[in-house]
């Protein structure tokens, strides 16, 4: 797939993997490892995490995701990609992919303190 640059500088036609590499790897690394506790891992726990209702929107609402310069559709594709790529073994049996509409709604409610929210509804890092 060829990526095209629009006038605004946004890549058009970029795959979810390319958008992940462009907008997420600065903090989470190419393999999703993160830098706990400040940058949580994206590997092996997100499937369980999104089973908690408050945590499903968390993935969209964290500042890095909510403020990424990509469309709601592209962000939904990135989140779905990373769930399958790094968390397929932990996805709930009834997993439903994120939709553009769901991302659009959640994205408008940015988390000011994602680590505090994560600790309240999921768990804190003990490192």
98-119 confidence digits (pLDDT tens)? 999 999 999 999 898 988 999 9
For range 10-29, the mean pLDDT = 86
Q: What pLDDT was estimated at residue 1? A: 41
Three-class SS of residue 69?
coil
| Of 68, 52, 63, 45, residue with least CA distance to 115 | 63
**34: left (phi > 0), else alpha (psi -120 to 50), else beta?**
left
Exposed/middle/buried for residue 23 (C-beta within 10 Å: 0-12, 13-18, 19+) = buried
Q: What pLDDT was estimated at residue 97? A: 97
Q: What pLDDT was estimated at residue 5? A: 52
What whole-number distance in Å separates Cα of residue 68 and Cα of residue 86? 20
Q: What is the pLDDT of residues 40-90, one digit of tens each?
A: 899 999 999 999 999 999 999 999 999 999 999 999 999 999 999 999 999
Comparison of pLDDT for 126 and 47, the residue scoring more: 47
Residue 96 pLDDT level (bands cut at 50, 70, 90): very high
Q: What pLDDT was estimated at residue 123? A: 84
């Amino acid at each position: 797939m060829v990526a095209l640059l629009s006038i605004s500088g946004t890549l058009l036609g970029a795959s979810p993997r390319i958008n992940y590499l462009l907008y997420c790897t600065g903090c989470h690394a190419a393999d999703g490892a993160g830098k706990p506790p400040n940058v949580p891992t994206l590997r092996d726990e997100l499937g369980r995490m999104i089973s908690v209702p408050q945590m499903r929107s968390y993935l969209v609402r964290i500042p890095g995701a909510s403020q990424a310069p990509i469309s709601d559709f592209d962000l939904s594709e990135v989140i779905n990609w990373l769930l399958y790529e790094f968390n397929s073994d932990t996805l709930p049996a009834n997993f439903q992919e994120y939709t553009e509409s769901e991302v659009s709604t959640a994205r408008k409610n940015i988390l000011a303190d994602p680590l505090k929210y994560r600790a309240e509804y999921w768990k804190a890092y003990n490192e």
